[in-house]
Amino acid sequence: MGMSENAHAGTSAGAQDLPAGLVTTIAFPDNELRARIDSRIVDHQQGRLKFVVWSAEHQSRGLNPDTIDAVILPYMNAGPTIDRLHELKNLKYVQLQTTGYDAVVGKVGPEVTVATASGVHTAATAELAVALTLASLRGIDDAARDMLKEKWDHIHRRSLADRNIVIVGAGGIGNAIFDRFAPFEVKQTRVATRAREDERGPILAIDELEGLLPTAEVVVLITPLTPQTEKLVDAEFLAKLPDDALIVNVARGGVVDTDALVAELRTGRLHAALDVVDPEPLPARHPLWSTPNTLLTPHVGGDASAFHPRIANLLTEQVIRLGRGEKLLNVVEID
C-alpha cells in the first residue's frame, strides 16, 4: 500500500545510465541554489556538468530547453514548473526537494528518473509531529488564543504520558517520530504496508489498522499520498476512534477526507492537529478554520533551519553522481 515515505530502493532508465563523456546539463530553479551547489563542487568534478537556471519563474538567458537533461524542482510552489516539464524534450532526471513525490505522478514518462529528498525533512517533520501532539493535548493553542483576550482559564488537560499512539507509516520520518515519542512514556504501534520487524520492534500490516482504532488515543499520519492512501482517514475510520482521540497529520492533506473530519470535529468528539490539509492552502472561510478542537499549521513540517544544510548535502551528492554517471539516491518508481 506504499506506506513508507522513504523511497530509494528502485532504479529506472534515464539519468542513471548517462553515457560516459557526455555533458549533463542540470537546471536549478533559481540562481541562488545554482550558485550554492556550484560552490561545493570542485572544478575537476564539473567536467561533465553544465549548470543552468530553468523553472516557471526563472530561466537562464538564451537557454534552449531541449538541452536540459536534469531538473531540480523548486522547494516551494513547484506545481507550475512541474506542469512545464513536458517542454523538455531530452529530460532524463527530476530531483524533488520534498519527500513526497505525488506531485509528479502522471507528469513525466517512464524514461525519466525521479528522485526525492528522502531524509532531508526527517528531523524537522518529526519535531513538528511531537510539537503538534503536545500542543493539542495540553491545550497550548487554546492558551495562546486566551492570551489575546487576557483570559486566565485553568483547565485539566491530558498528558502525553500514558497515551496509546498509532503511527501510520514506518519509513524514515515515521521511525524518527517513534524515536522522539519514546521518552514520553507512551505506548506506540507502527503500521505500514506489510508486517515486519526492525530494531524498534514489530510493525503491523495495514490490514490490522482497523482493529487498532478503537483504542488509539493519538493517530499520527506520515504516509505518502497514493491511490491506496487517498482518503484513508474517512468517516468510517473516524467513527471507530474513541472519544477525544487526536488525529495528527504531517503527511499529505489528501490522506484525510476533509468533509468527514469536519463533520466529526463539529461534534466536539475528536481533536485534530494538522500541518497539511485538503485543499491547500486552506481558503478563507473554510470550516476547518473554526471547527472545535482544531490546531492548524501552514505546512511547515520540513521547512525549518535543519532543511538548508541537508538539502545542500543531498543535491551536491546527486550532482556529483550525475557527473560520474553513478546511480542516484532516493529514486522512486512512478506508476
Give pLDDT tens digits for 193-223: 999 999 999 999 999 999 999 999 999 999 9
Range name among 10-19, 34-43, 179-188, 223-232 with the lowest pLDDT average = 10-19
Average pLDDT, the chain: 91
Q: What is the reported pLDDT for 316?
A: 96
CA angle centred on 241, ends 238 and 242, rounded to 5°: 140
176 three-class SS: helix
pLDDT single digits (tens) 270-311? 999 999 999 999 999 999 999 999 999 999 999 999 999 999
- C-beta neighbour count of 99 within 10 angstroms: 25
Q: What is the reported pLDDT for 334?
A: 80
All three cell numbers of 101: 513525490
Range name among 20-34, 67-81, 201-215 with the lowest pLDDT average = 20-34
Q: What is the reported pLDDT for 333?
A: 86
pLDDT single digits (tens) 234-284? 999 999 999 999 999 999 999 999 999 999 999 999 999 999 999 999 999
Q: CB of 323 within 8 A of CB of 47?
A: yes
Q: What is the reported pLDDT for 22?
A: 66
Q: What is the reported pLDDT for 74?
A: 97
Q: What is the reported pLDDT for 42?
A: 77
Q: Sorting pLDDT into bands at 50, 70 and 90, what band is 7?
A: very low
Q: What is the reported pLDDT for 10?
A: 36
Q: What is the reported pLDDT for 8?
A: 35
28 three-class SS: strand
Specify the residue for cell string 468517516.
Answer: 235
pLDDT at 182 over 90: yes
Q: CB of 293 within 8 A of CB of 265?
A: yes
Q: What is the reported pLDDT for 100?
A: 87
CA angle centred on 24, ends 19 and 26, rounded to 5°: 145
Q: Sorting pLDDT into bands at 50, 70 and 90, what band is 46?
A: low
**Cα separation, 54 vs 29, whole angstroms:** 6
Q: Sorting pLDDT into bands at 50, 70 and 90, what band is 44?
A: low
Q: CB of 18 within 8 A of CB of 92?
A: yes
pLDDT single digits (tens) 119-176? 999 999 999 999 999 999 999 999 999 999 999 999 999 999 999 999 999 999 999 9
pLDDT at 72 over 60: yes
User: Of all helices (H) and strands (E), which one includes residue 37?
Assistant: helix 31-38
Q: Edge to edge, what strands does the sheet with 93-95 contain?
A: 49-53, 24-28, 70-72, 93-95, 113-115, 331-332
pLDDT at 15 over 70: no
All three cell numbers of 76: 516551494
164 three-class SS: strand
